[in-house]
Structure 1
Amino acid sequence: MSTHALSRANRASVLRVLQHSDPLSRADIAERTELSLATVSRAVNDLVKMGFVCQAGSLDRTGGRPRAQFTLSSDAVATLAVDVADHHTDVALIGLAGNVILSQRHEIVDADPSARLTHTIRVVTSTFPRASKNSPRIIAVGVSVPGPVQADGTIDFAPSLQWHNVRLGSILRQELNVPVAVHNDANLIALAEATYGELRNPAALVALAVFEGVGSGLVFNGRLWHGNQGSSGQIGRMLLSLSALQNIYVGYGDLESHLGSEGIRNRAAKAGLELDPDREVFRELFLVQAEKHSAARELTRLFTIEGVVGV
């Protein structure tokens, strides 16, 4: 590893430690990263100059010279987070310390694949300069999409968006001239839960993402399990019965036809439930109807069994 690459790796180690800690001294950081005190001092000094880290007072634990404490700078740099969902695109400006600086939702209704892509690119490219003008410097963009994604940010397919082989990562890098990471939404949900959830750093975690489609994300020993070609969690096309073998599925798969939002609406209609078409189907079913309708309670019970135990 070159000296430049090693210095960059050391700075990343320091940032990871500070991201999940209260203010720490150089000695505390050295202990947690298992780097030498001299290495940590160089990394911290570099990060302070870059604006990523700032001093947060000092602490005298021994009666001697107070130790300077360091923390992440919440207002120096930020990342633009983008969630491309079934019927909207959410954008949020996130500070280095995890603080939300800006959050917006942009709705889109019944757009064809090309219009949906144009809408997504326009939302991101218009938000970027506007957010940068009165906010911290944006150093990267992260995008979540409902479908399997290759390492270069190419979306293999996203049924809810009707996208196939869309090079979204390359498009946004060219437009914005900053690093852009594009990942599957279920994978990101799993990674976020393993990193920031109630039970942090589990040995293994599976997160189910149920929207119009159904997917999952797998984390083992703190790392995403991508599987062959990044499709490890793509469970929506699993067959629930032998009779499904005779069906032809375009877009969504068999499991999704039962447990996705449209599948739930169809099953609710068969059970005699009228769900508000303008409301989010799962919230309507689980929080509203289930409180007052026995059929809804039974449907939510079956959904839980099939979605969690049966998969």
Structure 2
Amino acid sequence: MKITGDQQLIKKMNKSIVLDTIRQRQPLSRADISAGIGLNKATVSSLVSELIDSNLVTEIGPGESSGGRKPTLLLFNKNAGFAIGIDIRVSDLLAILVDLEGNVLHEKSVSLTDFSPEKVLEQVRKTILLLKRKLPESPYGIVGIGIGVPGLVNEKNRVVSAPNLGWDNVDLAGALAAEFSDNIHIDNEANAGAIGEKLYGAGRDSLNLIYLSLGVGIGSGIIVGGELYRGTSNFSGEVGHMTIAENGPLCRCGNRGCWETLASEKALLDRAAALDEHDEAPNLESIMKAAKQGDPAAVSLLNEIGSQLGVGLANLVNILNPELIVIGNRLSLAGELFEDAMLRTIESRSLSYHRKKTHVDFAKLGIRSTALGAASMPITAFLTDPDVTID
């Protein structure tokens, strides 16, 4: 009998559910899967056999018996393939090679001095090729590439605008697809960071969270009900352009008093440069070192940044009432030095009922949040279609 399109779709969906169950609950038996998802044992056995044939699942031997024959336990084969995640930043790019569970095998950081799309693309290509040379043997090799960009990315994977890079309307995915893969995902770096922290970091147990990316600018990725909120045009999360001070500093967007002009890494460095009498421009590391040594000017600068961060965060608490706020990217490295001022400001400016259940934490993945979130996108796409074949 010919299988109809609907039956094929149902089978594909069931196979995806079986694979996801193994990934989430491994090690477990076929009987465990059947009991957990409600499919009969014969169907589960058939789907598991196909997943084993596809090298996505492996058998690891017998488990504990509940009275009869010992069941054979199953594991997700995290080494069936690998993905590359890239975080393009204003001063450098970070690239990582991960297995299908997001474990980092290799990473490479490359300084950027020329931010033209052509030069950045050249560095991205070189870095991908370098990581591919470190690839362990596997059935599927590189299953895809994910890239986080500090700018607006539309539904078609095109970078509409990245002001800090000087980019407009750049087709990164199209430029890379012919050489590497058609499973290429481009997203805003804060969205990727939110996904990274949700899957692998501070947000694992949270359904509603805000990931705040504190770098040259301020961006956010918003997770609602466990899913990324993208907005009507895919451009949600530009919290750095909330007006915090009506007549504040001029922002690159043309407005005045945007949050990122007062509370970003760039805002900190601009203020430090105005105070510093030396010719050498200050950097985040030198300010942190000075503050840890008790330098009053450095301590004051970081307290001021913390207070300004608290103002914007209080707005987010009042508006979105999140379960968790995760602070990441470069400026989070100084978190312990501005945390008290930030939390005091949130406490004094947010509504008490709203902040009662909101927790503020720093990224558990450090500066890898975006790269890991970017890498997870092609992995998710690859595993969503378990009817893969080996060339």
TM-score in terms of structure 1 length: 0.85
Distance across 2 between alignment mates of 1:247 and 1:237:
11
In 2, the alpha carbon distance for the partners of 1:269 and 1:181 equals 38
Note if contact 2:108-2:127 (Cα within 8 Å) is conserved in structure 1: no
What RMSD over aligned residues (CA atoms) do the two structures have, in Å? 2.8
Offset at residue 130 of structure 1 (A): 2.5
The 5 A counterparts of 1:122-161 are: 122-124=126-128, 126-127=129-130, 129-132=132-135, 134-136=136-138, 137-161=141-165
Task: Report what 1:65 is aligned to.
Answer: 69
2:91 to 87, 92, 97: 87
Q: Which amino acid aligns with 2:60?
A: A
In 2, the alpha carbon distance for the partners of 1:252 and 1:59 equals 63
CA shift, 1:271, in A, is 4.6
Q: Tell me how far apart the structure 1 counterparts of residues 200 and 107 of structure 2 sit (CA, whole Å).
A: 20
Distance 1:50 1:201 in 2: 31
Shift of the 220–140 alpha-carbon distance from structure 1 to 2, 3 Å rule, reads same
Instruction: Name the CA shift for 1:275/1:45 in 2 (closer, same or farther; >3 Å).
Output: farther
Amino acid at match of 1:301: N
CA displacement at 1:284 relative to structure 2: 4.1
CA contact (8 A) 1:213 1:252 kept: no
Change (3 A) 1:86 1:247: closer
Aligned residues between the structures? 305
User: Within 5 Å, which residues of 2 pair with 1:223-242?
Assistant: 223-242=227-246
Pairwise CA distance, 1:135? 3.7
CA deviation profile, 1:208-253 (whole Å, cap 9, x unmatched): 0011121001001110000121111012222222225x94735898
Give unmatched runs, 5+ long, in structure 2: 314-391
| Deviation digits for residues 236-292 of structure 1 (CA, Å, limit 9, x no counterpart) | 222222225x9473589832222232221111234559797585x2x4434x22212
- The alignment partner of 2:147 has SS state of strand
Taking the TM superposition and a 5 Å limit, the aligned residue runs for 1:172-187 are 172-187=176-191
Percentage identity across paired residues of the two chains = 26
Contact 1:214 1:256 in 2 (8 A): yes
Give distance in 1, aligned partners of 2:277 and 2:301.
10
Given the alignment of the two structures, is residue 269 of structure 1 paired with residue 273 of structure 2, yes or no?
yes
Aligned residues of 2:263 and 2:306 also touching (Cα < 8 A): no
1:195 to 196, 199, 210: 199
Aligned partners of 2:146 and 2:186 also within 8 Å: yes
Distance 1:102 1:273, change over 3 A: same
Matches within 5 A, 1:1-311: 2-124=6-128, 126-127=129-130, 129-132=132-135, 134-136=136-138, 137-244=141-248, 247=250, 249-250=252-253, 254-272=258-276, 277=281, 281=284, 283-286=285-288, 288-291=289-292, 292-311=294-313
2: CA distance between counterparts of 1:39 and 1:99?
A: 31
Q: Deviations over 1:187-224 (max 9, x none)?
A: 12212222333452423101100111210010011100
Q: 1:53-76 deviations in whole A, cap 9, x for unaligned?
A: 111222123131111111121322
Structure 1: unaligned runs, 5 residues or longer: none
Q: Which amino acid aligns with 2:133?
A: R
2:30·2:45 contact (CA, 8 Å) conserved in 1?
yes
**Cα contact 2:145–2:185 (8 A) shared by 1:** yes
Contact 2:87 2:94 in 1 (8 A): yes
Aligned residues of 1:154 and 1:168 also touching (Cα < 8 A): yes
Q: 1:95 and 1:200 mapped to 2: Cα distance?
A: 19
Given that 1:159 and 1:251 are in contact with CA atoms closer than 8 Å, whether structure 2 keeps it comes out as: no
Larger relative contact order (CA 8 Å, sep ≥ 6): 2
Question: Distance between the aligned counterparts of 1:154 and 1:252, measured in 2?
Answer: 25
How far apart are residue 105 of structure 1 and its match?
A: 1.7
Cα distance between partner residues in 2 of 1:113 and 1:198: 33
